[in-house]
Amino acid sequence: MSTAPALAAVIGSPIGHSKSPLLHGHWLKALGIAGHYIPIELQTATFETGIESLRKLHFRGANVTLPFKEQAFALGDVRTDRATRSGAANTLTFTDGASYADNTDSYGFLNNLRQNVPGWSASSGPALVLGAGGASRAIIVGLLDEGVPEIRLANRTRSRADGLAAEFGDRVAPVDWQDLDAALPGAKTIVNTTSLGMGGNGAISIDLRRADTDAVVTDIVYTPLETPLLKAADTIGLTTVDGLGMLLHQAEPGFEAWFGKTPDVDTALRDVILSA
């Protein structure tokens, strides 16, 4: 067995702002592991050869971010069920001449809620999901896997919500973007997967006073940590969970596969990321 330090990477374009190197670097240090996790920028045309090079250099694997998640999925020799249903991969593991493609976004989403809201369960009632892009797909997969009875799916462009409903079956019910308020009563999990609220950009027009008092509101946007949606929910006493935890939790399965230890998502990690 080689004694060389274990290597892993995050690949994207652009990649300069990725928090993943900081996150994995913190875990490597905290767990005393001799390993390195580095950012690499590739282009669409060089993605496949880039991945092949990493394999040849004995990298254990890589995270893959925008815009390569579909390409990463396509080159997996073995694909997890959740990656197949998301149509995208964010975690590649190289072993025994094979590439394993996984999508840990649904895992990150679910574990963020589980960690922050003890007793939270997707099966406790309908969910209202805002947005129908790539992040929404992964969250829909997670909610369905965990037994959500119904997903009310609202998207500005209705046809994208209709497309996901057709793909994921009759537990997913499209609702009009203009009818968000009417979709609130009864929803136990309310999720924003759109970019609205990022960088203080554009608030969602929704009247959360129509939500059930035991609804949990979460956002995948984590810049700012308290988005306008979370602030509005908090103001009227609803339980809120910010989106940073999803980023932290989605990194766990890759770290464990490549570096062999289970990392902790704790306040020390959050502080490292927030103070960067």
Interface residue list for ligand ATR (CB under 6 A): 131-136, 155-157, 160, 193-196, 202
**How many Cβ atoms from other residues are within 10 Å of residue 242's Cβ?**
19
- Smallest gap from residue 159 Cβ to ligand ATR (A): 9
Closest to ligand ATR by CB, 204 vs 269, is 204
Measured from the CB atom, the residue of 199 and 202 that comes closer to ligand ATR is 202
Decide: 194 and 205 in contact? Cβ < 8 Å. Answer: no
Q: How far is the CB of 85 from ligand ATR (least distance, A)?
A: 15
What's the closest the beta carbon of residue 8 comes to ligand ATR, in angstroms? 23
Max intra-chain CA distance, the chain: 60
CB 177, min distance to ligand ATR, A: 7
Q: How many CB atoms lie within 10 A of CB 112?
A: 24
The CA distance from 34 to 138, in Å, is 32
Residue length, the chain? 276
In the complex, minimum distance from the CB of residue 176 to ligand ATR, in angstroms, rounded to a whole number: 12
Taking the C-alpha atoms of residue 110 and residue 33, their distance in angstroms, rounded to an integer, is 27
Q: How far is the CB of 200 from ligand ATR (least distance, A)?
A: 13
| Nearer to ligand ATR (CB atom), residue 125 or residue 133 | 133
Closer Cβ to ligand ATR, 67 or 125, answer by number: 67
**Is the CB of 124 or the CB of 195 nearer to ligand ATR?**
195
Amino acid at the residue 116: N
* Candidates 29, 56, 69, 231; catalytic one: 69
How far is it, in rounded angstroms, from Cα 59 to Cα 9? 8
141 alpha carbon, distance to own chain's centre: 11
Give the angle 188-227-133 at the CA atoms, nearest 5°.
Answer: 70
Q: Which whole-number Å values give the CA distances from 174 to 149, 194, 196, 258, in the listed order?
A: 14, 15, 19, 39
Is 261 an annotated catalytic residue? Answer: no
Cβ distance to ligand ATR smaller for residue 80 or 90? 90
Q: Closest residue to ligand ATR, Cβ-based?
A: 133
Instruction: For 32-53, give one letter per residue: b (16+ CB within 10 A) or e.
Output: ebebebbbbebeeeebeebbee
Phi, psi (deg, nearest 5) at residue 124: -75, -10
Which residues does the annotation mark as catalytic?
A: 69
